[in-house]
């Protein structure tokens, strides 16, 4: 699984890419903002709603979870363990579009209710869904 994700990331670095369509950029920006709000509210369903049915989420320590149900369960467990965040924000560094996918790099920061700050990079691949909306297809939390 990691090899597939690595190859996907490597392919996007060498591919001819285009600007992200404005409507897609606006939708992804909104989903990222909704993630922060949902983390503060402790709303696992909204966090997981960003993921496609066949999504894969890989944690900072390299554990990967496949499929929407597994990602929802992971999110519920994390929020049950840590509680809602005091704040949570995702900041995009770069986005490119290539062959129907949008590749996004950025930094995310969470502050727990105890005031602990967790920050790090992420690499996300978005895929256009049959209904025209963009969902997360692959998400890697970087160390």
Domain coordinates in residue numbering, the chain: 2-8+20-141
Below-70 pLDDT ranges, the chain: 1-17
pLDDT of the residue at 73 = 98
pLDDT of the residue at 1 = 58
pLDDT tens column, 83-122: 999 999 999 999 999 999 999 999 999 999 999 999 999 9
Structurally, at CATH architecture level, domain 2-8+20-141 sits in Roll (3.10)
d(CA 127, CA 119): 25
Please identify which residue in the block is written with the tokens 């490597």: 10
pTM: 0.86
């Amino acid at each position: 699984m990691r090899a597939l994700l690595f190859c996907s990331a490597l392919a996007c670095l060498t591919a001819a890419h285009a600007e992200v369509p404005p409507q897609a950029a606006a939708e992804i920006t909104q989903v990222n903002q909704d993630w922060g709000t949902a983390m503060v509210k402790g709303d696992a369903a909204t966090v997981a709603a960003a993921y496609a049915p066949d999504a894969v989420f890989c944690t900072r320590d390299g554990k990967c979870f496949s499929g929407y149900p597994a990602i929802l369960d992971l999110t519920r467990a994390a929020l049950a363990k840590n509680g809602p965040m005091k704040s949570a924000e995702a900041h995009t560094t770069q986005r490119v579009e290539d062959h129907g996918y949008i590749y996004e790099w950025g930094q995310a920061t969470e502050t727990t209710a105890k005031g602990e700050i967790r920050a790090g990079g992420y690499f996300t691949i978005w895929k256009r869904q049959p209904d025209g909306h963009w969902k997360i297809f692959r998400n890697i939390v970087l160390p």
